[in-house]
Structures are given as structure tokens and as C-alpha cells.
Amino acid sequence: MKFIDEVVIQAFAGKGGNGCLSFRREKFIPKGGPDGGDGGHGGSIYLEADESLNTLSAFRFQKDYRADSGVQGRGRNCAGKAGEDLILQVPIGTAAFADDTGELIGDLTEHKQRLLVAKGGRGGLGNIHFKSSTNRAPRQTIPGAEGESRPLRLELNVIADVGLLGLPNAGKSTLIRAVSAARPKVADYPFTTLVPNLGVVSIEQHQSFVIADIPGLIEGAAMGAGLGIRFLKHIMRTRLLLHIVDVLPLEGDPAEHARVIANELEQFSPTLAKHERWLVLNKMDLLDESEQQAKKQAIIDALDWQGPVYNISAATGEGTKALMYDIMQHIELHHEQLQDPTFFKEQQQRLRQIQEEGRESMHQLALLRQEQQDSLDEDDDDYDDDDYDVEVVYTRD
């Protein structure tokens, strides 16, 4: 199955059935009054979130979706049957936009949540409605209204509490393997991870949170280098970012590497760059104990880092448990704070800002790519961002 996180489809809601023009015709009632019934409403189109889905790949080939039309009214005041609604199942975390205006129609964040995306046309009125003292035989009816039709862009953002950030090879996937049942591939070459992986970290019986491991970022990602920045959108909604830094990289210096990531984040969304971010210094098993503290201090000094810092080894598990406990606490505190309506509002506002900035950066990147493509004029380069022939893995234990 392919991991698809963006599709454009056409939604055509059903037309309303026409109102009926009819008069009562019965034995012994020579001039029966009007009895034309109403048309049924056209079927609407809804999106419905389904927790068992994790990609939009079902929409890759079929692009047009039509709900049934309403049936027209009949004589004897019979109303036509309403057209059946069409319910499209999508993964949790799907947002729907009107593709022509860019307007956000809505977000699906909970299992079974429904969102109306194209309203069916109203059923027409039969002539029975138009009888009056002056007109006993009205020939007037109202036809059914057209259903709404619109191009829809569906965007899937995986929903996680914590997002992992870092250069390729920093050990992001190794960490998610160490602390959850998720089993993303780990290897000593860059870009091992090509799609987001989610892992559930269980702390105690009823305490758990979701971590998202995304592909590594490199310098220039905002300009399209490596896999670009498109995966950052999957961690836009997280409450906390874990910035994983390899303390003993094959090339370069850890503090410099951390700066690269901070810079790419800033270019993607300045608001996201100000988000709660913890520095996680990984591969500490490669250093002696005495070196570990010195390394940590050197990185903090070089970055003038004020936030939390953790020393861990994703490979041996050292330090990971304490980190996970602290994350859980942080998430719970955040949960409590969200009860405060002012805080909640601020968070919503901040999220919207991040989404806007992120969308703009991705738009700029798409334009840049288009320019490059045009100037290259290479028709054999049909690289498609969405074409990773791999599956997004959600592992819940």
C-alpha cells in the first residue's frame, strides 16, 4: 500500500428530485385538486474518520464521487425518495479543503466523526403547495435544486503527541523502536525512513502517548534538498518536539547539526520553531561517562540552549525511560492547561498560524520545484513525492 497524504477529488452531491405536477383523478370526483408530491432531497457527501485507515491511497485512482439524486415526487401526494448519502471513509487526521478557494472545510480528528463536504440539492415542491382560493388547479411546481459540487483537497496529517526531528542517521527510528512496539527500519545510511511511523509509548496501564518518527531533514530541506520539508507538516500538531542529535557524527559537529535543523524548522514555520523543543543527545554509549557530561555542556554552550536537554542511548535504552516519563508528565500538564479556555484559544490560534506558515512554505517549495523542472525540461524525471512504495506503520500495543 502506498502512503498517500494528499489527494484531490471531485464531490458531486445528488440533485433534488423535481416536484410533481398532478391532479386527483378519481371516479365520482370529476375535478380533483392538485396532488403532486415533493421531490426527495439529493444525497449529500460526507467524510467519516475511521481509525483503521492510515493513508488516503483509496482515493488515488477514483477521482469522482457522486451521491444519488432524489427521486421526483408523484401523484397522490407521494413524496419522492431522498437520494442516499455517500459516506467516504478517511483516516483520522484528514483535513478537507475546497480546492478552488483553498478554504478549510473541516478537520476530522476523532473516530466516526463526520464532515459534510457537499450538500445534496433540496427536493422540489409538488403543485399541491400552490393551491389557493384563486387558483384551484395550479400548474406550478418547483424543480429539485442541483446538489453542491466542488473539488476537494484532502490532506492527511498524522496525529501524534510528540514529533521526532533530526538529521538522517541521528537515531530517530532507533529511539522509537526502543520505546514503543513500532518497528521502523534502522540502518547506518541516510534516509532510511521515507514515511512517518507512529509508535505508542505506554508508561503505565492508562498512560500512553504517540510518537511520530519522520524522515530526516538536511540542510536546504526548505529549498527541496533531500526529501524536503513536506513531512514537517506531520509534526505540526504535536505538543512537543524531540530534537535528536548524534553526539558523535561521522562528519561535522553536533552543535552545528542541531543548528541546521533549527534553521530548517524556522524556514518552514517560525511559529513551529518556537514550539516546545527538547534536545536529546543520542549515541551517548559511544562516549565515556566523563566525556558525556563535557559533551553535553559543550553543545549547550555552543547553542546557548536554554531548554531541557537529555543524554540517551537509543541503542542501549540508557536514559530513554526517564525521558519518556518526563514527556508523559509534560503531556498531562498540557492537558490540564487546555482546560483553561484562554490557553485553549491561544493554542488553537498558534496551530492555525503554524498550519498557514507551513502551507505557505510548501507552496513556495512546489513553485521552486516547478521552476527547476521547467528549466531542466526533463520529461523522464517523473519523481513524485507521493510515490513511496511503502506502508505507513502504526503500531499499538
Ligand X SMILES: Nc1nc2c(ncn2[C@@H]2O[C@H](COP(=O)(O)OP(=O)(O)OP(=O)(O)O)[C@@H](O)[C@H]2O)c(=O)[nH]1
Contact residues for ligand X (CB under 6 A)?
166, 168-174, 186-188, 190-193, 215-216, 282-283, 285-286, 313-315
Instruction: Return d(Cα 348, Cα 268) in angstroms, integer.
Output: 19
Edge-to-edge order in the sheet of strand 114-118: 86-91, 45-50, 114-118
Q: Do residues 218 and 226 touch, judged by C-beta distance below 8 A? A: yes
Instruction: Return d(Cα 224, Cα 140) in angstroms, integer.
Output: 62
Three-class secondary structure of residue 178 per DSSP: helix
Q: How far is the CB of 244 from ligand X (least distance, A)?
A: 6
Q: Do residues 139 and 132 touch, judged by C-beta distance below 8 A? A: no
Applying the rule CB under 5 A, the residues between 260 and 279 that interact with Mg ion are none
Q: How far is the CB of 211 from ligand X (least distance, A)?
A: 12
Three-class secondary structure of residue 331 per DSSP: helix
Say which entry of ligand X, Mg ion, none residue 168 contacts (CB below 5 to 8 A, set by partner kind). Answer: ligand X
- If one asks whether residue 173 binds Mg ion (CB under 5 A), the answer comes out as yes
Nearer to ligand X, 53 or 286 (CB): 286
Instruction: Return d(Cα 362, Cα 129) in angstroms, integer.
Output: 54
Total residues in contact with Mg ion, by rule CB under 5 A: 3
Q: How far is the CB of 175 from ligand X (least distance, A)?
A: 7
Q: Do residues 54 and 394 touch, judged by C-beta distance below 8 A? A: yes
Say which entry of Mg ion, ligand X, none residue 295 contacts (CB below 5 to 8 A, set by partner kind). Answer: none
Q: What are phi and psi of 296, to 5 degrees?
A: -60, -50
Nearer to Mg ion, 217 or 279 (CB): 217
Nearer to ligand X, 94 or 169 (CB): 169
- If one asks whether residue 109 binds Mg ion (CB under 5 A), the answer comes out as no
Nearer to ligand X, 174 or 271 (CB): 174
Q: How far is the CB of 316 from ligand X (least distance, A)?
A: 7
Cα distances from 5 to residues 94, 228, 296, 388, in angstroms, run: 9, 15, 37, 11
Nearer to ligand X, 119 or 257 (CB): 257
Nearer to ligand X, 143 or 168 (CB): 168
Residue from 109, 192, 208, 347 touching Mg ion (CB under 5 A): that is: 192
Instruction: For the beta carbon of residue 226, count every other beta carbon within 10 angstroms.
Output: 17
Instruction: For the beta carbon of residue 381, count every other beta carbon within 10 angstroms.
Output: 9
Q: State the DSSP string of 113-172.
A: -EEEEEPPPPP-B-GGGG--SS-SS----BPPPPPPEEEEEEEE----SEEEEE-TTSSH
Q: How far is the CB of 237 from ligand X (least distance, A)?
A: 21
Residue from 193, 238, 282, 361 touching Mg ion (CB under 5 A): that is: 193
**Quick one: residue 328, left, alpha or beta (phi over 0 = left, psi -120 to 50 = alpha)?**
alpha
Nearer to Mg ion, 157 or 193 (CB): 193
- If one asks whether residue 194 binds Mg ion (CB under 5 A), the answer comes out as no
Instruction: Return d(Cα 76, Cα 24) in angstroms, integer.
Output: 7
| Residue 182 in grid coordinates | 513500532
Stretch that binds Mg ion, among 186-194, 224-232, 282-290, 380-388 (CB under 5 A): 186-194
Q: How far is the CB of 313 from ligand X (least distance, A)?
A: 4
Q: Do residues 6 and 91 touch, judged by C-beta distance below 8 A? A: no
Nearer to Mg ion, 127 or 238 (CB): 238
Q: How far is the CB of 247 from Mg ion (least distance, A)?
A: 17
Stretch that binds Mg ion, among 106-114, 171-179, 221-229, 330-338 (CB under 5 A): 171-179
Q: How far is the CB of 251 from ligand X (least distance, A)?
A: 14
Say which entry of ligand X, Mg ion, none residue 322 contacts (CB below 5 to 8 A, set by partner kind). Answer: none
Nearer to ligand X, 115 or 314 (CB): 314
Q: How far is the CB of 189 from Mg ion (least distance, A)?
A: 10
Binding site residues, Mg ion, CB under 5 A:
173, 192-193
